[in-house]
A and B are shown apart, each in its own frame.
Chain A
Amino acid sequence: MFRALEYQERVLTALEVYLDRLTVEKMAADEVAELLAERPKLKLSVPDFSEATWEGLRGEGKLPVSRSAIPYSPRRDGMGNSVPNTVLKVPTGGGKTYIAIDALARIFGKYFNQNTGFVLWIVPNEAIYTQTLKALKDRQHHYRQALDRAAAGKVLILEKNDVLNVRDVEANLCVMLLMLQSANRETKDTLKIFRDRGDVHGFTPAEGDQQAHAEALARTPNLDAYEDMFPMVKDSLGNALRIIRPVVVMDEGHRAISPLAVETLYGFNPSFVLELTATPKDVLAKGGKNPVAARPANVLVEVTGKELDREGMIKMPLNLDARQGVDWKATLNTALERLKSLAAAAVALRAETQRYIRPIMLVQVERTGKDQREGGHIHADDVRDWLMTVGLADEEIAIKTAEQNDLKQPEKQELMSPKNRVRVIITKQALQEGWDCPFAYVLCALAASSNKSAMTQLVGRILRQPDAMKTGVAALDEGYVVSHHAKTGDVVTAIKEGLERDGLGDLVLAVGGDDETGGEDGIPKRIERRATFQKTKIYLPKVLLVDKTGARDLDYETDILSMIDWRKFDPKTIADKIPENARAAQNQLQRIELVDKGDERIVSEIVAGGDEGFSFDAVHAVHAVRAISDLVPNPFVGREIVERLLARLKKRGFAAEKIGVLGGLIVEQLRLGLDKERNKRAEVLFKGEVEAGNIQFRLRADGNNWVMPDAMSRVVAKKERQLVGEDGGSLERSLFSPIYENDFNNDERDVAVYLDGDKALKWWHRNVARTQYGIQGWQREKIYPDFIFAVQSGSGPDRLLVLETKGDHLDNPDTAYKDKVLSLMTENFAWDSTASAGTLELIKDGETVECSLVLMSEVKAKLPGMIKSK
């Protein structure tokens, strides 16, 4: 099951913003470089376009808040050119690979303006290598299908020992998988990758053409060559890569941080480096004999554990049962009972929904070796014997150790298959990263005290939710850790570390230990409402779709996107915007050949994708239709639009070959145009439905409202500062208490302090984005306002005010959109007294709700009026 997730959308949007800016900066830098080439005496230096892009984004506040103070860390390739580098922080289990592929499609579409090229995909270990390779080679797999869509079906998956031909690179999107070790070792000269070999064709000049070889070296000085009287470039994979200038994707990018790894990697002259990691690592500066400059990660977007949790992708909360007894069998029995109750729940679930889940328990033991059974340690075989005496069959147990791997047996291989019977996996060491089984629900840590690090790692292995979707059955949506004979505090710390390692550090708070002995740098804390508001029920209206079957939350895809009728759409304006002299911001493959032509020798340059007489044919048309399928869901309608676009271009005088060459740009422009049109049409549609009363924003007597929680939880660091009022005293009117400074940026802090000081306010609340109150408008992303506060006017009813603050100007499209949605909602707020029999009825007390957007620069001027008015 695959669905678009809100945060994935957010990541890709951020990347698009980055790429747009990068393209502009790159072109500007190229112009300077051209000028310098013509007039070398000018006192100019070519700006670092990657850095300029980054600083530009920082200026606009587009970088993650937590990293806004960290400087950009420039990267340079083996020839000293600037290399754009971005890190996407995505927790384990967050669909990293899928994001990477979607990101590649954007990078090639926006930055290279073509859909062929070369990607070097670097993975950290064998397990992930095998998995990724299998997925990418399988045409039925959604990863591969996403790639096929990006490259119009011309995808070539390569391994490092495959034959590499320049023609393949020119005509396909080649993805070469490489394990980190292959590119990262001290003795790099002996590595196969740098060896001269006979099956890398066409990248270097013909043997014996000495001048051409010299020329090639001059253009790409970091090529490996035989340095003789006449230098000769080696036909190695490494050299081919240096000439190709690949796009590098680093899975688990935080592992390639050693100076050598970075040097080798950037030595391949990459034209773009995209890193994906759960835990970005900032390399600190090091002095001494071999000084290393600081190299922080250039994090563009951060996805938090909470976002994953909200999409139902992970099992949360984790329930911890820290057993203190000395009898490990009792602990194992507890865990087994848990597994059995889960299995029963799973059977019931399958009967109702046909969804198959077979809960699996991981048992961590102390010893596994054949001759280590004596000596009083808990041994894998002891555990298995005990499980068999209590009734499990041999087929239901698998032992996975260094010397024995039952999971490789044919009948135990496919853990997700209904035909597989494995229910318990016994292991000592950590299972490899990338080994993931969503069916693993229970971790029974029998070696919790003796091997904490393995336990830490194992916690991460039980987090993924089957099908990445909650079941609705609480038991099957949560994870379970049963630990043996270890201090609760220690186990909590270990779990916390485990979560942090998977980039889910913000979720720690959901771990239910029985006491508050947390780790060093913070303990999960429950933050309650103030005593005076503890009993107050606070409701806010949701944006609901109301039809004869009832009212439900407005669903963007179903109720907005699908309702747009594209049948009569004419893409004329889009077609007219496509420039005739378009060129790509960056080219990948640059290859030179020296050709004898009389006395003169001519340097010919071949640029990927440019020479092959492409015409925009059926293949491209089908590709284009797929590429816009998220905007125009019906492919028959999509095809009609593509047809009209092509017809218009032909009318403008574009020849078939030209349309073919510009294919990537045309699709890109079409997407942009359709996106704009979609937002326009969605707005009209939304407003119409509001007018007609089908989309409502009402406080409902039947209780279908958003309910303010009674308590929140948050990790509080040891010396974390609480927010104080204007006079330095404690806050008085916040709904929850205490409130911490770190939850606000400077501007928001001022607003909070201001609100707290206003006597007309009953309470105020800092809304938590993405998990608390959100308003669905006519664009995909919900609006999460910053503040909610209640004003009491004399003896009259309360007014609830919902406030979104914005740092920039109203001409920013996002700000304008939010402003429009919020005012529309305010205009249409009402009470709805329909309540079906048997539901809890809300008493109508005349409370009103107003939503507004205020620019930070106008806060001081506008807030008093808002609080006082009406």
Chain B
Amino acid sequence: MGEPIELDKILTGKTLPDYAGLGAALFHMATNTSFDPKKMKASKFYLGESDAAHVWMLYKPDLDWLKSPDAALTLSKAKQYAESKPGKRHLVFAPARYVSKKLLAENNLSVEFVPLPYALYRIERA
């Protein structure tokens, strides 16, 4: 029963972990690689890279920001990420995805959305 209750605390904004803490956990879960805080750039929402992928996380411990369109993966953000670090897949943790998978595929963007905060307990790539 712990899991949904924790999730609900995040969703309601009661407990919002800080960027580095959440990022470290998610990065490790998604890549099985250890997290290197030096590679992280919170201002650019970049967590780091593994052999296979670059990992990004759109997150701030601020409920209003999390509800805003700034917290969503959009087509322009996907393009920007793919262009800034070419060569590998991109995993993007974010509360919402404001671009269809079809459009991402049509633009040949190898960008995969992973929903927050559910990813904390289970990496879903839906």
Which residues of A does B touch, CB under 8 Å? 1-3, 139-140, 142, 145, 153, 352-355, 469, 472, 555-558, 562-563, 565, 567, 618-619, 621-623, 625-626, 633-640, 643
Contact = CB atoms under 8 A, between A and B. Distances in A.
A639 B13 CA distance: 10
A557 B88 contact: no
Contact of A3 (B96, B102, B124): B102
Given A2-B126, A636-B66, A562 B72 contact: yes
Contact of A567 (B1, B67, B102, B105): B67
B5 A636 contact: no
B124 A142 contact: yes
B36 interface: no
B67 A640 contact: yes
Interface stretch (B18-26, B37-45, B115-123): B115-123
Interface in B70-91: 71-72, 74-75, 88-89
B58 to A, nearest CB: 11
Contacts of B11: 621-622, 625, 635-636, 638-639
A640 B11 CA distance: 8
Contacts of A562: 72, 74, 96-99
Contact of A619 (B1, B105, B108): B1
Contact of A558 (B9, B12, B75, B110): B75
21 contacts: A2-B101, A140-B122, A140-B124, A142-B126, A145-B124, A153-B4, A354-B88, A472-B108, A555-B100, A558-B98, A558-B100, A558-B103, A563-B98, A567-B67, A619-B1, A626-B118, A635-B95, A636-B63, A637-B67, A638-B11, A643-B12
A662 to B, nearest CB: 19
Interface centre among A567, A625, A635 (most CB of B within 10 A): A635
B104 to A, nearest CB: 9
A643 B11 CA distance: 11
Contact of B89 (A354, A469, A640): A354
Contact of B12 (A142, A619, A633, A639): A639
> Chain A contact residues: over half helix, strand or loop, or mixed?
helix
Nearest to B88: A354
A558 B99 contact: yes
B72 A622 contact: no
B101 A3 contact: yes
Given A354-B88, A557-B100, A635 B117 contact: yes
Contacts of A556: 100
A143 B100 CA distance: 20
Interface centre among A139, A555, A622, A640 (most CB of B within 10 A): A622
B7 interface: yes
Contacts of B4: 153, 618-619, 622-623
B5 A618 contact: yes
Nearest to B87: A354
B101 A1 contact: yes
A643 B67 CA distance: 14
Nearest to A139: B122
Contacts of A353: 108, 110
A752 to B, nearest CB: 33
B105 A469 contact: yes
A565 B72 CA distance: 12
A544 to B, nearest CB: 13
Given A353-B110, A354-B88, A557 B96 contact: no
Given A2-B126, A3-B100, A640-B67, A634 B1 contact: no
